Amino acid sequence: MLTASTSLCCVPHRGRMRIVSALAFAAPMLVSAGAFAACQGPGAPTTTQTRCVTAVAIPGNPVTSFDISWVNPDRAEYYLGDRSNAGIDIIDTKKNTFKRTIGGFVGGVVGPGNKFVTSKSGPDGVTSHGKWLYGGDGDSTLKVIDLDAAGTPSDPSIKQSIATGGSTRVDEMALTTDGGLLLAANNAEDPPFGTLFHANGDNNNSNVSIITKITVDPTIIPAGKGLSLEQPTWDPKTQRFYVSVPQINEPAGCTPGTNCSGGLLVIDPTTLSHPSAVIGAFDASTNTGVLAVNQCGPNGAVVGLHDNLLLGCTPANLAGTTSTLVINAKTKHFANIGGVTGSDEVWFNPGDGRYYTGSSANPASLGGPALGVINGETNLLVETVPQGSGSHSVAADSKRNSIFVPQVVPVNPAGPPGAGGGDTTGVSAQLCGTSNGCVVVYQHDVDEEVAEDDDGHGHGHGHDD
């Protein structure tokens, strides 16, 4: 491994916009007459260790836009922020079947020129602990969902909708191991901010509240440059939240998307008790602050084995990026993993000791959009599996070693707008077996037991699609 380094992100969309109804946003698309079986084509190779086993159809509108996904292996449930259907889709990870969609989100928002406005659409980030599911919405609210509720007017699934004070979406988020604290990022605000919440933990009733609004020193994330905060993750060993920062103002006066370093924001939640907090440059003595990182403008962040963090780097944040970064949470020593980049959400699966990356922006020189598979012990790339161009989200069930990768519809200029504009590769439709989008299920068969790291839970994330 090498030594440490320092980073920033995304451009919010401006202008008037409208929230369109589910039908107006995603008018039904018919499955082509030549629809075929699922798990076909380049995305279902027979020579990889990660094999396509099925595709789960999502009822309702075709999947033109989705965001972050999450798995709770104890409940055997997968959750997907489905903006096309204005709700969070739930899939049974034992049977690999669709269960239901929990609505109540703004869905897709369309602005001038019939352009999809990601910064105003929802749901976006999702995470869960026990029966409590949390979802970020496009109207700057956090939705708190009771998965055991009946979903009726007298017992609604959404128990709270908490405004964070912004004008754009609540995006990615992370929980502490006990589910008692939640950190969420408003990535599209300018400047961006995070919100630390008291979460529900294992409580029976919902009582989520805001603790602190978190911003970054303006010399590191200046206003007016469209910079961002992305995926947080919680590390139980250091008791810190780590947040991907796609770009920071380093070197000073740099050009976002070209030569600005990416960063990692380290937060000690025990020090945040006031209504607002401004966090500055990294301080090794407290293990807090913004650290610049090496050759990486990260979206995703996840904790893996040996207290290592995997950061999902992408050329959209730092031009010329060709690798993924692993950095140790304690020492800040790092190594760049070659062969895959362009990641949004990233996930660690303790069931097989592997990281999985939603590398939809992986460049053609590295094989194009892919599901990246990285050995969490050696930090070496195992393989890449071709994906559709919108496949930026990934989550895994650690009890079943199933990996879930959502797919959008094929590109259709005359169809409803979506964040990624539809798949341009043709891979998604072959994986789904239809032209309506789906969630593809991969599996990695493990021949021998893999030791789980500390809390034995895999988590993921990253993002800006």
First-to-last C-alpha distance (Å) of the chain: 31
pLDDT, tens digit, 9 for 90 and up, residues 121-168? 999 999 999 999 999 999 999 999 999 999 999 999 999 999 999 999
Domain ranges for the chain, please list them: 18-444
Q: State mean pLDDT over 362-381.
A: 97
Greater pLDDT, 450 or 434: 434
Cβ density class 325-351: b for 16+ within 10 Å, e for less: bbbbbeebebbbbebbbbbbbbbbbbb
Greater pLDDT, 107 or 12: 107
Q: What is the per-residue pLDDT for 33?
A: 38
Q: State mean pLDDT over 291-301.
A: 96
Cβ density class 144-173: b for 16+ within 10 Å, e for less: bbbbebebeeeeebbbbebebebebbbbbb
Q: Give residue 280's Cα distance to chain centre.
A: 25
Q: How many CB atoms lie within 10 A of CB 424?
A: 15
Q: Which amino acid is at 174?
A: A
pLDDT, tens digit, 9 for 90 and up, residues 41-67? 999 999 999 999 999 999 999 999 999
CA distance 78 to 63: 16
DSSP string, 300-368: EEEE-GGGEEEEEE-TTTBTT--EEEEEETTT--EEEEET----SSEEEETTTTEEEEEETT--GGGTS
The three state secondary structure string of 134-163 is EEECCCCEEEEEECCCCCECCECCEEEEEE
Greater pLDDT, 373 or 8: 373
Q: Which amino acid is at 52?
A: C
Name the one residue in this structure whose structure tokens are 């990615």. Answer: 172
pLDDT, tens digit, 9 for 90 and up, residues 303-333? 999 999 999 999 999 999 999 999 999 999 9
Q: Is 304 exposed, middle or buried (0-12, 13-18, 19+ CB in 10 A)?
A: buried
Nearest in space to 386 (alpha carbons), one of 412, 405, 414: 405
Nearest in space to 442 (alpha carbons), one of 44, 27, 97: 44
pLDDT, tens digit, 9 for 90 and up, residues 18-42? 444 333 444 434 344 345 699 999 9
- CATH number corresponding to 18-444: 2.130.10.10
- What CA dihedral angle connects 164, 168, 172 and 177, to 10 degrees? 0
pLDDT, tens digit, 9 for 90 and up, residues 207-247? 999 999 999 999 999 999 999 999 999 999 999 999 999 99
Model confidence, pTM: 0.90
Q: Minimum mean pLDDT among 316-320, 444-448, 458-462: which range?
A: 458-462
